Structure 1
Amino acid sequence: MSLAVLCAVLAVSAVAQDLDDVGISGRVTDTNGEAVPGATVTAKQVQTGLSRSVTTNASGRYQLIELPPGTYTIRFEAQGFGAKERIDLVTVSGQNLQLDMQLSPADVQAEATVTVDDDDAPAIDTTRVIVGSTLSEREIEELPNNLRNPLDLVMTLGGVSEEALSTSDLADDRNADPRGAPFEQGNFSLSGGASYSNNITIDGMDNNDDRAARDRFQPSIEAVAEVQVIRNQFSAEYGRASGGRVNIRTRSGTNRYRLQAYMFYKNAKFNANTWYNNSRGIERLPMEDINPGVTFSGPIQFPFYNGKNKTFFSLSYELQQLNDTTLIDTFIPIIPNPRFDLPAPNGSGTFCDQPGSPPPPCTTGGEIGHYTLQYATPNTGHIVSAKVDHKITGNNNLTVGFQFGRRTNRRTRGASTTRLEEALQARNIETEAINVTNNHVFGPSVVNQARFQWSSYRPSFQTDNPGESVVLIGYRNPITNSVQTLISGNSSASSNIGFADNRDESRIQVQDSLTYITGSHSLKFGADVQYVDSKANNLADGTGTFNFNNVLNYSNNVVTRFRQNFGTRTDVTNTYWGFFVNDEWRVKPNLSVTMGVRYEKENAVSDNNNFGPRLGIAWDPTKKGRDVIRFGAGIFYNRVLLRTVGEFIQNRRGGMVAFDTNTIPTSGNWRNNILATITQHFPEGYATIEDLRTAISSTTCGSGPCSPNLGFAENATLGGIPLRTVEPGLKIPESYQFNVGYEREVAKNWVFEVNYSWNKTAHLWREYNSNLPVLPSGYDEFVDYLLDNPFVFTNFNGTTRTYQFYLGPSNDPSGISTNPSTQTGTCGTTVNVVCWINLNTFNTSTAVPNTNASDGVSTNTHGGAIGIAREALRHLRPVPEVDAMERVASLGKAFYHGVVIEFRRRYRSIGKGFGFSMRSAYTLSRTMDDGLNNTSNAEVNDDFGREWARARQDRLHRFALSGTFDTPRWMGKLRFSPVFRYGSASVFNLGYGIDRNLNNQSTDRVLFSGDLSELKWRRPGQAQEPTALLAKFSLQPIGARSGNIPRNAGIGPSQYIFDLGVTREFRFGERMRLRPTVQFGNILNMAVFSFGAEFIDFIGTGDSPTQAQLLARRNFLVPTRTYRQRDMRFGLRFNF
C-alpha cells in the first residue's frame, strides 16, 4: 500500500471528548485488510520523550486516551510484520485523531518510517460534537494584543461579543473621569450567554473570581501554549457555566533547554493623540509601558539526577510596568493641628480661607498655602507561572503548577486631585495557586485523572494605609473661588472605577475523572468539588472619617462631623459539588453520539435540582473525513455570584451599624458636646462599637449622660447599598442550548464551517424594591393618589404645612409655590401654609421635607418635589421606616440565536517565499435580555417583561479577520499579522437618571413623540443643539409609572478595530533566534466613537437653562469616548 493511501485514511475519531487532552485511535490491518490483533502501538511525544503503548484488540483496533497535547511519533509493530512510524503528528487540546495503519509481512518489507508531513494531517475533526476554536501558540505570539492579555484573543473568533458597558480598547482622555464597567459585568459573551456566566480555567483548573464574575489570574502571554474557546459544550464533563468555557493551557518543558528573554516597550511619544484631546486642544498624556520578561524550560538535571525523558520544568516571569503620574493640586492649612501632620505648602502666596481669598491677616477664616506635586502613580505587575511534569512510571504522570501574581495599579483619572499622597487609592491584586494533576493508566481501557488546586485571591481598592482614619478639610480655592476638600490620612471612598473594599478569598478544588473503554463506548465518570471561603470588607468610613468644614476649625482641632461604620465584613463560604457521567458511542465508523448528564449543587443557594442532560451527534455523511454534520443540545447552569449573596448575609444578620454625628440632634447642644468628646480622640477612630458608645455615654446631654445609641443606625444602608434580601426559592441561572453545524474541507488546508446556535437563559438574577408603597385600590398610578391626597403635618412650632399636589406647566423650574396659577410665592416652613407641588416640574431635587426641624438634625427645608412626593407615600410602605429594600429574585431571562460562518486556513507555504494562515468569522446574531447584570432593576418595579429588548452588547453583524502572512527575502522576510474586527451598530438605553416614578430607582425613561429611528447617536463637534429632536421629548408627571421609550431603543455607533503586527526573524546558528516586532494598534488612526459605560440621559430644562444645561443639550446623544488612538509597541524576543 502506498504512503499516499496510508495518509488518506487519517481521520478524526470519537475516542473521548476530553477538552484538555488528546486521543488517538484507529485500526491496524495487514495488506489484505484483515485485522492484526496484538499489535503494539506506541505514542512518543517528541518534545519530552514520554511514551505510552497499547495493543490492538481482536478487531485490530487501538485507543490512546488522555495524552498531553504536543507533537507525536506513532510507532506500529507486530510479530511477523515490518514496523512503521507516523512522525511529526501535531496535536492540540481537545483533539481526537484516528490513525489507521497497514502493516506488511516482515519478509516483504522490513521496518519502514511513514514520512507523512503535516500537509496530510486531518483538517477537520469528524467526531467533535462541541462548538469552539483553539488559538495556537503561533497565533498567540504573533497577533497584536493591546494589553498582552491572552483572554483578549477570544475576540478574534466568531460567536464572541464584548460585555455590556464594555470599556475595553477605549482611549484614556485627559481631564476626564469616565465610568468603568461594573465588575460583575464579566469579560465577554460566548454564543449569547451572559457575559458573567463563563467558566475560565487554566490547565483545566478553576480560574474564576466568583464575586466579580471575572478571571483570577492572567499568565504572561509568553507562557501560554493554547487558548481554547468552547462556545457550546455538549459533553457533561465541565460545568459552572451557563455561557461558555475558556481554557488557557500553559507551556511545558521539553528535553531541550530553551531560554527566551524579551522586552516590549510602548511610549506615548510614538502614539497619536486621542480624538477628544485633539478636539479640546489638549496634548497627549505622557505614558510609558515596559514589559520585560524571561521564560526558561527544559529537563531537570542535577549531578545526582538526570531528568531527561522523565522530568521537565517550565518557568515564566514578566514585569508589567506602566509609568504614569498624578498631579496633586490643593491648598494646605498654614497653622498646623498639633494632633495631625500635613506637608508644608510649596507654592507662593498665602491666602485666607474666606470669600474673595484675600491675603492675611484673615478676619474670619484660617490661612492656606498652595501645594502641588507631580506624584508617580504607576501600574506595576509581577507575573510568575511555573510547571513541573514528571513521569513517575510508564503508566503514571504527575504535573505540578504554580501561579503567582502581584499588581498595584495607582493610576488615577482626571486633570488633578486634592488628595495627598497617602490618600491616593490603588487597585491591588495578590494571588497564588498550586495545582496538581495525576494521570494513571490502569490498562488499555482504563485511565484515571485526579486533580487538586489551592488558590488564594486578594483584590483591593484602598490606600497604602487602609487602617488609618480619613481626614477631610474644607477650604476655598483662591484660584477658582470654589469650595473644595483636602483629603488626607486615608481615603475610603468609592469611585467610578471601583468600590473601596478588600477581599481575601481562598479556594480548594478536587477533581477526579475515570475513563473506561468498552467496545464502541467510551464511558467517563467524574466529580468536581470546590470549597470557596470569601471574606470581604467594605472600607467606606470603616476606620473613622473626621470632617473639618474649614481650615480654621482644623487648626483649632474642632471636628464638625464624624462618621464610622462597623460590621462591614461579608464573609461567605460556598461548597460546589459537580458529578457527571458521559458516554461517547461510536455507533458507526462515520457516526458518533455523545450522551451524558451532570448534576451541580452549591450550598450558598438552596437550589437542589440542577440536572443538566447533554447530547451531541457528529455524522460524516461522505465517510471520507472531509465533511461533518454536528448536532448538540443541553442544559447548563451558572455559578453563584458571591457578592450578591454576601450582601444578603450582611443585611440578614444585622451586623452592619453606621454612626454619623449629623443624625444627632443639636437641641441642648448634644451634637457639639459629643463632637467635642470625639475631637479628643482625633485622629484615631474607634476600634469597636462599644468604645464609641462608651465615649458618647461619658458626654453630658442636658442634665445627664448622653444615650449611647445617639448617632447610630443599625442595619442601615452603607455606601449607597440598600437593604437586600433574597427571595425564597432563588434559583441558579440555567441555559438551554441547541446547535446544528456543518464543517467541510473545501480545498487542501482550507476549511469552511457554519453553525447555528440557539441559547435561552432563564432564572437570571434581578432586583426589585420589596418596600415599594402599596397603591390603594381605585388608583392606577401614584400620581392619581397624590392628586387626591394632600400631604399634611405639623411644624415644630405647631403650625401646619400642607402640600397640595397638582399638574401644572412643564417648564416650572422649582415645582414648589404658593400660587399654582403663576408658580410664584415662597413656601414657608414656620407658618400655616398650603404649598402647591407641581408634579409636571422638571426639577430633579429629591430633598426630603423636614417634619421635625426642632431637633436640629437638618435644616427646616420644604424639600424638593420628588422628595415631597416620596414622603407623602411613606405611610403606604410595608416598612415605613425604610426606603428601598432590594430583593434578589430569579426573574430575568435572555435569548440568543445566531449563525457563525468561519473560513480558515492553517499555516502553509505557497511558494517563492510566501506563506500564510488565515481565520475569518462572520456572525449574524440577535441577543435579547431584560437587564444588564444580576443587580439590574426594571423601570417599573418588578416588571421585567417591559424591559425585554435588544441587549446592550448586541450587534447584528460582526466580522473578525486574523492571520499571519510571510514574505520572501526580497520583501525583507517580514511577517505581517493583522487583526481586523467590525461590529455593526450597537444599542443604548436612553434614560432620565432621576426617580420620577417614586420606586427609589433611577431607571426611569421619558416620553417621546417622534419616531424611535430618530434616537440615533450624533457625532461630536456639532455647534447647534438638536432643537427639533429635543422638542419631541417630555417628562411624565411625578408618580406616573413610566415613560414610553422602550429600553435600549437608541442606536449607537459601529465598531472598527484594525491592528497590525510586523515581525522579522534573524537566526544565528541552530538555536539562537532574534525576533524584533512592532505592533500597531488602530494603524489607520480611525476615530471610532463609543458610549462606554456612561449613562445616556435626557436633560429637562426650563425657559432659562444654565450653561451646563445648554452644553448637555448641545451634546445630547453624543458619545463621550472613542476607541484607542493609533499606538505602537516595540518588542524584541531572543531565543536560545
Structure 2
Amino acid sequence: MGDAHSARSSLRRRRFRGSRPRCQDDRQIKGRTVRGLHTQFKGSGTSATAWNIRKDGGVFRKCLGPALAAILALFFFSSAVLAQSLEGVLRGQITDPSGAAISAATVTVTDSQGATKQVQTNEQGQYVLQGLPAGTYTIKVQAIGFVDFEKGSIVIAPGSPQVVDAKLQVAMEKQEITVNDTTNRLSVSQENNASAVVIKGKDLGAFSDDPEDLQADLQALAGPAAGPNGGQIYIDGFSGGQLPPKSDILEVRVNQNPFSAEYDTLGYGRIEVTTKPGSSKLHGQLFADGSNSDFNSRNPFVTKQPPYHLAYEDANVGGPLGKKASFFLYGFRRDMQDSSIVNAIVLDLLDPAFAPIPFSQAVLDPQARTYLGPRVDFQLSPSHVLSVRYQFWHESKNKIGIGQFSLPSQAYDTRKTEHIFEISDTQVLSPRILNQTKFQSKYGRENDTPESLLPAVVVLGAFTGGGNSLGKNLITQNTYQLQNLTSISVGKHALALGGRLRDVDEVDYATRGYNGAFTFSSINTYLTAEQALEHCNAAGGSACAVSGASQFTITAGNPIAQLNLFDLGLFGEDQWRARPNLSLSLGLRVEAQNHIHDHADIAPRVGLAWGLGGAGNPRTVLRAGAGVFYDRFQEAQVLQAERLDGVNEQEFVASSPCFFPNVPSPSELSTLNCGQSVPTKYHIDSHLQAPRTRQAAIGIEQQISQHATASVTYLNSHGVHQLLTRNINTPLPGTYPLDPVYPFGNAGNIFQYESDGLFNQNQIITNFNIRMGTKYSIFGYYTLSFANSNTAGPDSFPMNPYDVLADYGRAAFDVRHRLFMGGSVGLPRGFSLSPLVIANSGAPFNITLGQDLLGTSIFNARPALAPPGATGPGIVATPFGTFDTLPAPDESVIPPYYGAGPGQFTLNLRLSKTLTFGNKGARSQGTGGWWWPSRKGKGLGERGLSAGEAGSSGAGSSESRYSLQLSLAARNIFNFVNLGTPVGNLTSRIFGRSNSLAPSPFSSLSAPRRLDFQARFTF
C-alpha cells in the first residue's frame, strides 16, 4: 500500500520535458494533471465537455502522444494498486512494561501453511510487514531480555491494515500468551539446541514415580554423552541432593546449552531438574502407588521367593498466601518390602568332602523413605522475588549389602537423614540487568550398623561371607553452596557473570576393616583350607589354624577423621546474536579447590549456531562448540587419605597367612612366623591435578515438519589427568616374588591417588523430537560410541604400576549402542498411553585371574591370549577366547574390559484413564501468572529466567475442578530377562555367566517385570 501511494505521488509530479511544444490547456482530472487533455467532471463525473483538439496536427501529435502515455502509465499503476489491494499489511509497535520502545526486536509471522516472514523493529519500536496474502497468521515477537510474545488467529484482509502492538514482559515475569504451543521449531539460540531433551507435562508420565527408578530413568536419558562419571544432576541449580518426587518436578532438561560456562561439569549428560513453585490459585494432588509380588514375574535366579510389596503415597498442595506470596507443599512416604537375591557357590557342609554347590536365596530387605518439602515465594516488588525452600529426607534400610556373591551374613542396616535449606533472591535491577543469588545449607547424618562383626571371608568368584567389612559408621556432613548470577542485556549481546562457592565439612567415625578379612583366590583353595581345618578339629586339635588364604587384611587406629573441602568457580560469558540466523557464545570459567596441587583451572568455552534457509525460523541449523571441563577431587578420596595416613589409621596386609580362621591383632601380626605383614597407607600425589576433559562437537539440526525436528551430532572427548590409585611401593619389575626390591624400602604399601589416567571417546548422537498437538509426542536418541581408557575411576588400580598405559583399552563405560525413546499418546475417552523404551548393547567386563602376580596387594592380574585350540597347563578355553592363566613376566596380557556382557532392553508402559468432574474453569491454569526463577534460562533474553508449564503430574490445566486418574504402570512389560554383568574371574565355576538381573531401569532386584497400580486425584 505504501508503494502505491508513492506511485500516485510520482504521477502527480510527472512532467514531460524536452524539445516538444508544451500543451496550452491543462486541466485536472480528479486531482491528476494531464497536459493537452481537457475534460471536466461534474458531480459524479457523468457529464463532461467534448474533446477540444486543435487542428494543428503537430500539436495533436505532440500533446496527445504524451497524454496516451500518461493513460497507459495510469493503467499499469492501477493494475499494481489492484494487485496490492489483494494483499494485507501488519504493523505495530513493541514496548517494554514501562512503555519505552524496544528496538531490534524480531517480529515473525507464520501463515497456516507454515511459511514465515520476518522483520526487526526500528528505533521507535515500530515494524511493518507488507505484502501478506489474505489469511490467518500467528505473530511471535522476540527480544533479548524479554519473554517471547506470541499471538495467533490474526486475520489479514485485503486492503485493511491490521495493527498488533505488544508490550513485552521482562524475562522473569512469565505470562504465557499462548498456552498450548504445538509447534516444534528450530532456533539458533544457544539454549535451544535440538539435541537437548526437555521433559515436562504429559511427557513426565513415561517416567517412573518411584524416586529410585526415576533417577535411573534420568541417568539412562543422559547416558549417551555422560563420559566416565555419568550424568550429573542439578536440582534448582544446586549440585547433589536428593531427587524430589515426580509430582514436585516442573521440568527436566538434559544436554541444554552443553558448552555454557556457567556449569563446571560436561554439558552432554547434564540433568537439570526444576521444581514447582506456588501459584495464584489453590490446587493440589493426592497420589497412591502399590505393587505386589503376586502381580510381578519371578526372579530366574531363585526357586523360592518370599512375598514382597511396595506402597508409595504422595501429596502436594499449593496456592496463594495473600496478594504477594504463594506456597507449595509436597511430601511422600515410600514403604518397600523388597528382596535381595543371593546367587553364589558355597561348600556343602552336609557333604563330608565339602563339595562346592550352587547356593541361591531370597532375603527380604525392608526399606522406608520419607520426604517433606515446603516452599514459599514472596513477590517483594514487581521486580524482586524471594524464594525459601526446606526439605526433610529420611531413609531406613534393613538387611542391605546382600546379593549376588554376598551371603546373608553380610547384611547391615543403615539410617540416613538430610535437612536442606535453600533461599533464592532474584531482582531485576533494570530492564537490562538481572541478578540472582542462591544459598543452600545441607546437613546430613548417616548411621551404618553391620549384623555381624566376624571377620569377612572373600572367596573370589564364589562368595563373600562372614561379617561385613563396612563396620560401624557414623557420618555427619555439612555442605554449603553459594551462587550468584548477573545477566546483562546490551543490544545483541547477552552477558552473564557469576560464580559458585561450595564447602563441605565432614566428621566421620568409621571402623571399616576393623573385623579383618581373609581372601582366597578360588573356591578350590578355600575348599582345601576347610578340609584341613576339619581334619585338625577331628584330630582333637585346639585353636586350629590353617593356611590357604592369599591375603589377610585388618585396620586399626583412630576411627575418627574429619575434613574441610571447598571449591570455587568463577565465570563470564557473552552470547552474541550477530544476525537473526547466527549466534555466537564465548565463555571462560576459572576453578580452584584445596587438597590438590593446581589451584587455577582455566576452562574456555565457545559455541556457534548458524541457521540456514531462513532468518528467524531456519529449517536447518549448523551447530558447533568446544570447551574444557574439569572434575573435582572428591571428599571420599580426601577422607580416605586423611584416615589411612599411616598415623591416624593403618591397614595391615599379610600375604599367605597361616592362621585362618583366627584373627590376630595388628601387633601380633609381626610376631607370626608365616606371612609377611606390611602396613598400608593412602597418599595424595603432590602433583595431582584436577581431571580435565576437552570436548568438541559439531552437528546439524533439521526441521522435518512443523511438529518434528531431528539432529545428528558428532562428539569428541579427550580426557587427561584422570584419577587412579597406584601402589608406588610395588616391588621393582622382575624382582617379585623371589627377591622383591621395594623403591621405598620397608614403608609397606603406599596407595597413592594420581592423575595419570586418560580416556578418548568418539560418539555420534542422533536425536529426534515430534510433538503434534497436545495428544501426541515422542522424543529420544540413538548413539554410537567408542571409548578407551586406562582407568576405571579414582579407586581403580592398574595391573602394573610401572606401566599404566598397558591398561589402556576399552573403557568400563563404553556401551557401543544406546537407544532411548519416550513420549505420550492421547487416546479417546480420557485414556492416555506413555511408553518408554531403553535398549543398550552389552557393557564390557573385566576378565581377571583372581591373583596378585606383581606384589601390588591387589587381585587384578589378567591372563594372556593363547592360540585357539591350544592345550596345556594354565590354558583355559572360553566363549570369550582362549587364555593363558600363567603368563610369563614379559608376555603381553589382554587389555582390561576385554569381555562383552549381554545386551539389555526394556519397554515400560503406563496406561491411564482420567475422569473429570466439577465446575469448569475453577482450577488454576498453570501458574496463574505468578513468576519465579527457573533454570530454563540463565538471565535476560536468551538467558532469560522463565517459568515452564505445569504438567499432568502436577497442578496442570484442566477444564474441570477435579480429576481422578487411574493408571497401570508396567516396567519391562515384555518380561525380558535382562542379565547383569557376567562373572569375570577365570577361576570361578560360573565364569562368563551372570548371577543377577541387571539393575534399574532394566529390572528390579526382585523381578524382571513389575506392575504398579496407581491413582491420582487432582483439584
Q: Structure 2 length as normaliser, TM-score?
A: 0.68
Q: Distance in 2 between matches of 1:951 and 1:593?
A: 34
Deviations 1:249-302 (A, max 9, x none): 11111111112111101111111102223xxxx1334211110121111112xx
Residue in 2 aligned with 1:656? 649
1:125 paired residue number: 187
Alpha carbons of structure 1 residues 722 and 223: separation in structure 2 relative to 1, 3 Å: farther
Aligned to 1:1085: 975
- 1:1045 matched to 2:894? The reply is yes
CA shift in 2, pair 1:1033/1:633, >3 Å: closer
Partner Cα separation in structure 2 for residue 664 and residue 921 of structure 1: 53
**Superposed displacement of residue 144, structure 1:** 4.2
How do 1:593-608 residues align onto structure 2 when only pairs under 5 Å count? 593-608=584-599
- Equivalent in the alignment of 2:703: 745
In the other structure, the counterpart of 1:268 is 293
Show the 5 A alignment for 1:509-524.
Answer: 509-524=481-496
In structure 2, what is the equivalent of residue 987 of structure 1? 844
Separation in structure 1 between the aligned mates of residue 901 and residue 502 of structure 2, nearest angstrom: 42
1:318 aligns with 2:295: no
After superposition, the Cα gap between the structure-2 partners of 1:200 and 1:1134, relative to the gap in structure 1 and judged at 3 Å, is same
Q: Would the aligned equivalents of 1:604 and 1:645 in 2 still touch at CA under 8 Å?
A: yes
Check whether the contact 1:981–1:1057 (CA below 8 A) recurs between aligned residues.
Answer: yes
Matched, 1:225 2:250: yes
2:477 equivalent to 1:505: yes
| Pairs within 5 Å for 1:391-790 | 391-412=379-400, 413=402, 425-463=412-450, 470=453, 493-494=469-470, 501-540=473-512, 565-621=556-612, 622-627=614-619, 628-652=621-645, 654-656=647-649, 722-775=680-733, 781-782=734-735
Which residue of structure 2 aligns with residue 864 of structure 1?
Answer: none
* Contact 2:488-2:495 within 8 A present in 1 as well: yes
Residue in 1 aligned with 2:884? Answer: 1034
Indicate how the Cα distance of structure 1 residues 436 and 720 shifts in structure 2: closer, same or farther if over 3 A, else same: farther
1:860 alignment counterpart: none
| Pair 1061,142 (structure 1): closer, same or farther in 2 beyond 3 Å | same
Q: CA deviation at 1:121?
A: 5.2
Distance in 2, Cα, partners of 1:758 & 1:95: 35
Equivalent position of 2:311 in the other structure = 290
* Identity rate, percent: 20
Distance in 2 between the 1:386 and 1:96 partners?
A: 28
Residue 881 of structure 1 aligns with which residue?
A: 746
RMSD: 4.8
Tell me which residue corresponds to 1:921.
Answer: 781
Q: Which structure 2 residues correspond to residues 988-1003 of structure 1 after superposition, within 5 A?
A: 988-1003=845-860
Deviations 1:173-195 (A, max 9, x none): xxxxxxxxxxxxxxxxx514222
SS of corresponding position for 1:873: coil
Q: Note closer, same or farther for the CA distance 1:617–1:118 as it changes in structure 2 (3 Å cut).
A: same
User: C-alpha separation between the residues in 2 aligned to 1:896 and 1:926?
Assistant: 6
Corresponding residue of 1:136? 200
Which whole-Å CA distance do the structure 1 matches of 2:505 and 2:215 have between them?
26
Structure-2 separation of matches of 1:732 and 1:95: 39
Does 2:239 align with 1:206?
yes
Letter in 2 for 1:56: A
Secondary structure at the counterpart of residue 941 of structure 1: coil
> How far, CA to CA, are the matches of 1:722 and 1:407 in structure 2?
34
Deviations along 1:8-29, one digit per CA (max 9) or x if unpaired, are xxxxxxxxxxxxxxxxxxxxxx
Q: SS at 2:974's partner residue?
A: coil
Could you list the per-position Cα deviations for residues 108-127 of structure 1 after superposition, in whole angstroms to 9, with x for gaps in the alignment? 86989998663465533321
Deviations 1:836-874 (A, max 9, x none): xxxxxxxxxxxxxxxxxxxxxxxxxxxxxxxxx64x434
Contact 2:101 2:125 survives alignment (8 Å): no
Relative to structure 2, which stretch is displaced further, 94-103 or 310-319? 94-103
Q: Output the CA distance in 1 between the equivalents of 2:645 and 2:495.
A: 45
Secondary structure in structure 2 of the residue aligned to 1:1122: coil
Give 3-state SS (helix, strand or coil) of 1:649's partner: helix
Distance (Å, rounded) in 2 between the aligned partners of 1:659 and 1:269: 49
CA–CA distance in structure 2, aligned partners of residues 747 and 649 of structure 1: 59
Larger relative contact order (C-alpha < 8 A, sep ≥ 6)? Answer: 2
- Counterpart secondary structure, 1:990: coil
Structure 2 residue aligned with 1:390:
378
Aligned partner of 1:1132 in structure 2 is 1015
The alpha carbon displacement at 1:96 in A equals 7.6
Q: Are 2:624 and 2:698, in contact at CA under 8 Å, matched by a contact in 1?
A: yes
Q: In structure 2, what residue type is equivalent to 1:953? A: F
TM-score normalised per structure 1 = 0.62
Q: CA–CA distance in 2 between the matches of 1:641 and 1:537?
A: 18
Q: Deviations over 1:646-696 (max 9, x none)?
A: 222234461115799999999xxxxx9x99xx9xxxxxxxxxxxxxxxxxx
Query: Structure 2 vs 1, CA of residues 379 and 743 (structure 1 numbering), >3 Å: closer, same or farther?
Result: same
Matched to 1:229, the amino acid is: V
Question: Counterpart of 1:283 in structure 2: which amino acid?
Answer: K
Q: Does the 8 Å CA contact 2:646/2:680 hold for their aligned counterparts?
A: no
Change (3 A) 1:1061 1:57: closer
Name the CA distance, whole Å, in 2 between partners of 1:461 and 1:660: 25
Given that 2:582 and 2:610 are in contact with CA atoms closer than 8 Å, whether structure 1 keeps it comes out as yes
CA distance in 1, matches of 2:652, 2:893: 42
Match 2:228 to one of 186, 194, 201: 194
**For 1:1073 and 1:243, how far apart are their aligned partners in 2?**
38
Instruction: Tell me the CA shift for residue 399 of structure 1.
Output: 0.8
| Structure 2 segments unaligned to the other structure (5+ residues) | 2-87, 108-120, 128-136, 168-175, 343-348, 353-361, 458-463, 518-532, 546-552, 870-874, 919-959
- Structure 1 residue matching 2:247: 3-state secondary structure: helix
For 2:823, give the aligned amino acid: G
How many pairs are equivalent? 785
What is the rounded CA distance, in whole Å, between the counterparts of 1:1050 and 1:663 in structure 2?
A: 30
Equivalent residue number for residue 857 of structure 1: none
- Determine if contact 1:1080/1:1127 at 8 Å carries over to the other structure: yes
The structural deviation recorded for 1:773 is 1.6
Shift of 1:145: 5.7
Residue 1004 of structure 1 aligns to a residue whose secondary structure is: coil
Q: Is the 8 A contact 1:80 1:106 kept in 2?
A: no
Q: Secondary structure at the match of 2:216?
A: helix
Q: d(CA) in 2 for partners of 1:1082 and 1:264?
A: 17
Q: Distance in 2 between matches of 1:118 and 1:87?
A: 13
In structure 2, do the counterparts of structure 1 residues 660 and 635 end up closer, same or farther at CA, with 3 Å as the change threshold? closer
Give the one of 723, 734, 756 matched to 1:891.
Answer: 756
Q: Which is further off, 644-653 or 400-409?
A: 644-653
- Alpha-carbon deviation of 1:230? 2.3
2:96 is aligned with 1:41: yes
Change beyond 3 A, Cα 1:1042–1:124: same
Give the Cα separation in 2 of the matches to 1:112 and 1:879. 76
Q: Aligned pair in 2 of structure 1 residues 54, 767: CA closer, same or farther (>3 Å)?
A: farther
2:371–2:392: 8 Å Cα contact kept in structure 1?
A: yes
Work out the CA distance in 1 between the residues paired with 2:727 and 2:99.
Answer: 64
Corresponding residue number in structure 2 for 1:1016: none
Work out the CA distance in 1 between the residues paired with 2:712 and 2:511. 50
Q: Distance in 1 between matches of 2:791 and 2:370?
A: 37
- Are the counterparts in 2 of residues 398 and 438 from structure 1 also a CA contact under 8 Å? yes
Shift of the 108–918 alpha-carbon distance from structure 1 to 2, 3 Å rule, reads closer
1:393 is displaced (CA, Å) by 0.8
Contact 2:501 2:568 (C-alpha < 8 Å) held by counterparts: yes
Flag the 1:1135–1:762 CA change in 2: closer, same or farther, 3 A: same
2:861 to 993, 1004, 1007: 1004
